[in-house]
Amino acid sequence: MTSTRGATTPAEPTAGGSRDVLALLRSRGALFQSDLLARSRRLPSEVESALWDLVAAGLVTSDGFQALRSLMASRSPQIRRRRSQSSRRLLRFAGPPEGRWSLLDSPDEELAPDEVAEEAAGQLLARYGLIFRDLLAREHLDVPWREVLRVLRRQEAQGLVRGGRFVSGYYGEQYALPGAVEALRRTRKQERTGEVVRLNAVDPLNLVGILTPGPRLPAVPTNAVIYRDGLVVATEEGGRTVIRAEGGVEALRAARPQSVVGRRRAVVA
Tens of pLDDT, residues 207-237 = 898 888 888 999 888 898 988 888 888 888 8
If one counts every other C-beta atom within 10 angstroms of the C-beta of residue 47, the result is: 24
pLDDT at 95: 42
- Check whether residue 179 and residue 212 sit in a common domain: no
Tell me the average pLDDT of the chain: 79
Say whether 180 sits in a helix, a strand or coil.
Answer: helix
Higher pLDDT, 34 or 157: 157
CA gap 25, 27 in Å, rounded: 6
17 and 91, same structural domain? yes
Measured distance CA(64)–CA(182) in Å, rounded: 33
Q: Same structural domain for residues 180 and 242?
A: no
- Let me know whether 97 and 134 are in one domain: no
| 159 part of a folded domain | yes
pLDDT computed for residue 149 by the predictor: 95
Domain count, the chain: 3
108: in domain: no
DSSP 8-class letter at 211: T
**Domain end position, chosen among 79, 103, 127:** 103
pLDDT of 118 higher than 60: yes
- Asked whether residue 174 falls in the same domain as residue 242, the answer is no
For residue 33, the tally of other CB atoms under 10 A from its CB is 22
Q: Name which of 21, 135, 110 is nearest 71 in CA terms.
A: 21
At 31, give phi and psi (nearest 5°).
Answer: -140, 150
The three-state secondary structure class of 265 is: strand
* Residue where a domain stops, chosen among 151, 167, 189: 189
Whether residue 87 is found in the same domain as residue 178: no
pLDDT tens, residue by residue, 184-212:
888 888 888 888 888 889 888 898 988 88
Question: For 68-97, how does the pLDDT look when each residue is reduced to its tens digit (9 = 90+)?
Answer: 666 666 655 554 455 444 444 433 434 444
pTM tops 0.85, yes or no: no
Same domain, 166 and 251: no
Same domain for 25 and 61?
yes
Same domain? 144 vs 165:
yes
Q: What is d(CA 183, CA 128) in angstroms, rounded to the nearest whole number?
A: 12
CA-based nearest residue to 81, from 39, 116, 90: 90
User: Per-residue pLDDT for 101 more than 60?
Assistant: yes
Q: Say whether 33 sits in a helix, a strand or coil.
A: helix
Q: Are residues 171 and 95 in the same domain?
A: no
**Domain final position from 163, 189, 215:** 189
Check whether residue 152 and residue 216 sit in a common domain: no
Within this chain, do residues 157 and 117 fall inside the same structural domain, yes or no?
Answer: yes
- Give the range of the structural domain holding residue 18, as residue numbers without chain letter: 2-103
**CATH number, domain containing residue 81:** 1.10.10.10
